[in-house]
Amino acid sequence: MPKKKLHETDGPTSYDVASLAGVSQSAVSRAFRKGASVAPKTREKIMRAAKQLGYQPNAFARGLITKRTHLIAVVLSNLTNLYYPEVLAELTQRLSATGNRVLLFSLASESDVDAVLGQIWPYRVDGAIVAARLSDEQIQQFNDRGVPIILYNRVGDMAPASSVCCDSAAGERELVKQLLNAGHQSFGIIAGPEDSYVGEERLQAARKALLNTGIEPFFHRGGFDYESGAEGLRALLDQSAGKLDAVICTNDAMALGAIDCARNVFELSIPDQISIVGFDGVGPARWSSYQLTTIRQPVRRMTQAAVSMLIERVENPGMIPEQRLFGGELLTGKSARLG
Amino acid sequence: MPKKKLHETDGPTSYDVASLAGVSQSAVSRAFRKGASVAPKTREKIMRAAKQLGYQPNAFARGLITKRTHLIAVVLSNLTNLYYPEVLAELTQRLSATGNRVLLFSLASESDVDAVLGQIWPYRVDGAIVAARLSDEQIQQFNDRGVPIILYNRVGDMAPASSVCCDSAAGERELVKQLLNAGHQSFGIIAGPEDSYVGEERLQAARKALLNTGIEPFFHRGGFDYESGAEGLRALLDQSAGKLDAVICTNDAMALGAIDCARNVFELSIPDQISIVGFDGVGPARWSSYQLTTIRQPVRRMTQAAVSMLIERVENPGMIPEQRLFGGELLTGKSARLG
DNA sequence: CTGTTAGCGCCTTCAC
DNA sequence: GTGAAGGCGCTAACAG
């Protein structure tokens, strides 16, 4: 019984290409690597044979030896968030452009992180970009396994990890400052879930900026989604007995919900009777019905940084983790009176 | 010089676990496979040793032998579309739940398909779910390589491929029927880009339904995005000299743009002066400012079907491609007068 | 520049 | 139920 090709369904191997091109298997291998030393003539023969057979090197066999899989794990918490699709699109684009592939994981709930990690390890990813809350132990697992990791809009509390963030505090301070300048007096804050890192950052920053001027804001906690923005507005209006001046939402989705609720339920005129601001700068924020005043995260620069920092660490394992903080851009829409 | 473990950085192998547990390597291998015959005692020893070392089977080595990578390629055309994130979230969820991993590809432009295919083949994916326009040759490549494929909201013109679609034609017919019943007379259609399969389906269906009753609709072609919905409305109003009754947009994003433009630019009251309908049933369509009348795609059922059809074909290579068509649900919002 | 020779880490017959 | 070999498809030293 012949050894070769029991099942013809198994796709061509480098041996098939080799014999068709009349060279050795290792010649084929070289022809498909970048820094190879192959005679142009030979290479051409090989490439032709390969094309004819539809041959493509098996990434699994290659990865087994080189220990470079060109796989990057991307972990996101909630894909349905208005903000993440843009991030994911950019990341995928940039990673592809640098010859890497995206292994995508999305968390149903933050508690699934360990399960996801267990799914990542077998694939020996070259690195990971994570926009989800990781414990120090979880970060440490990446370090222990020598997998470079970039935290996106998060930082490691103790464990060392590179990170890329938008400066939440600066953004909120700017918003508060401008709202105060415009003469607002009665503030409300609609915050995100407690387990969101940026959510808490923004909340603290906004609150502190207000407290500094002696203002104690009304407060409601939502879930970062449109509906909870509407609920939040209701709650704040209730707490403040209606004399609410300005509402700071810790993301855009909630701000949009709050705007709609203010207009459609309470028939408030925006920004005349009430100012509402958000954070992120998502697409719908620019829609003409909203024209939300918000802080736009520099997504392109951030994803760009995340990818290049990651690649750098993949190629240079010894590097010390680096933190990069990006300033947001104030989008002055028409949902708030600024000073 | 000792053979084992030149670099301690290389992570534990099954041999390491074996010697720690005092068994053979193949015992370890068995312990990590489902239908293995291992004594409970032995298995436990092994698992303990594995945990201690942080061992996880190498998916690359395993895949090399078993020819099952548990990798599913997911190819989307434009992630920034309002509709795809939901689909992707569902797909990722369901694929994860069935022990598969998502290798994500997103197309910058439809012409990149061949480049993406070239990136897929080396990874020997078990299957693919594609929501992008593929030529028959491209579909044939999947068949040739024995990679089961599910087309999402597309069909193969000639080449055989399984597919999952929402019934565009039925949806549009229903919308048109109800709009006609309500007495609308002057119709406009804002269509998507020509290279969109569903876009053209919806366009044809709507147009045909109108022509059947002797109505020739005004027509504008957009790009499926919010802005082009606004532009579209402008153009239609222009064409019709203002006596436009009803606007059919072939997706929700454009419908939302059209609504905003109608209200904020032309100060038209919706649905009193003009009815606007969409297609998809995305999140923002339900926001209180819009309450869009549209056809909601049964995303959960569709993704569910896509995944289970795919898995089935992976495990049963001989199967004949199957097409599944799902009916949408009419969401009667407040953006249109229906009859 | 080219072919030969070992493995990468694991699964998979086989004997036992 | 368990261990000993062989090999999946390829890369990485080596000789030539």
Asked if the C-beta of B92 comes within 8 angstroms of chain A's C-beta atoms, the answer is yes
Q: How many CB pairs under 8 A join A and B?
A: 147
User: For residue B91, what are the CA distances in angstroms to A104, B107, B296?
Assistant: 11, 17, 18
Q: In chain A, which residue's Cα lies nearest the Cα of B288?
A: A260
What's the pLDDT tens digit per position in A3-21? 333 345 678 999 999 999 9
SS3 A24: coil
Q: Which residues of B264-289 are buried (b: 16+ CB within 10 A; e: fewer)?
A: eeeebebbeebbbbbbbbbbbbbbbb
Contact A240, A218 (CB under 8 A): yes
Nearest alpha-carbon partner for A258 in A244, A277, A239, A242? A277
Q: pLDDT digit of tens for each residue in chain A (339 aa)?
A: 333 333 456 789 999 999 999 999 999 999 999 887 888 889 999 999 999 999 999 999 999 999 999 999 999 988 888 999 999 999 999 999 999 999 999 998 877 899 999 999 999 999 999 999 999 999 999 999 999 999 999 987 787 899 999 999 999 999 999 999 999 999 999 999 998 999 999 999 999 999 999 999 999 999 999 999 999 999 999 999 988 999 999 999 999 999 999 999 999 999 999 999 999 999 999 999 999 999 999 999 999 999 999 999 999 988 999 999 999 999 999 999 998
Of B69, B108, B226, the CB nearest to A60: B69
Q: In chain A, which residue's Cα lies nearest the Cα of B120?
A: A101
By C1' distance from the Cα of A25, the closest nucleotide is C3
Q: What is the DSSP letter of A293?
A: B
Which pLDDT does position A321 carry in this prediction?
Answer: 93
C1’ C14 / CA B313, Å: 32
What φ, ψ does residue A76 adopt, rounded to 5°? -120, 150
Pure H helices in B150-225: 168-181, 197-211
Q: Indicate the pTM of the whole model.
A: 0.94
What φ, ψ does residue A248 adopt, rounded to 5°? -105, 115
What's the pLDDT tens digit per position in B207-226? 999 999 999 999 999 999 99
Which pLDDT does position B11 carry in this prediction?
Answer: 87
Cα separation of B313 and B306, whole Å?
Answer: 11
> Higher model confidence: residue A148 or residue B6?
A148
Residue B79 has pLDDT above 90, yes or no: no
Preferred mutation among A123, A144, A282 to probe B, highest tally of B CBs within 10 A: A123
Q: Amino acid letter at B109?
A: S
Virtual torsion, Cα A159, A160, A163, A168, nearest 10 deg: 50
Residues 185-224 of A with CB under 8 A from B: none
Say if the Cβ atoms of B124 and A85 lie within 8 Å.
no
Residues B109-113 have a mean pLDDT of 84
Cα separation of B316 and B319, whole Å?
Answer: 6
C1’ D8 / CA B66, Å: 8
Is there a cis peptide before residue B57, judged by omega within 30 degrees of 0? no
> Higher model confidence: residue B258 or residue A9?
B258
Pure H helices in A129-196: 136-144, 168-181
Cα separation of B6 and B20, whole Å?
Answer: 18
What's the pLDDT tens digit per position in A180-218? 999 999 999 999 999 899 999 999 999 999 999 999 999
SS3 A250: coil
Residues 272-311 of A with CB under 8 A from B: 283-284, 287-289
Q: Amino acid letter at B234?
A: R
Q: What is the DSSP letter of A284?
A: G
C1’ C1 / CA A19, Å: 18
Say if the Cβ atoms of B60 and A58 lie within 8 Å.
no
Say if the Cβ atoms of A92 and B80 lie within 8 Å.
no
Residue at the smallest CA–C1' distance to nucleotide C8: A65
Which pLDDT does position B3 carry in this prediction?
Answer: 36
Which pLDDT does position A7 carry in this prediction?
Answer: 40
Residues with CB under 7 A from strand C: A 23-27, 30, 37-39, 41-43, 61, 64-65; B 3, 10-11, 13-15, 25-26, 28-30, 32-33, 55, 57-58, 61-62, 64-66
Residues B27-46 have a mean pLDDT of 89
Asked if the C-beta of B35 comes within 8 angstroms of chain A's C-beta atoms, the answer is no
Cα separation of A305 and B157, whole Å?
Answer: 42
Mean pLDDT score of chain B, rounded to an integer?
Answer: 93
Nucleotides of C under 7 A from a protein CB: 1-5, 7-13
User: For residue A15, what are the CA distances in angstroms to A1, A21, A27, A234, B66?
Assistant: 18, 10, 10, 70, 19
Residues B156-173 have a mean pLDDT of 92
C1’ C11 / CA B59, Å: 12
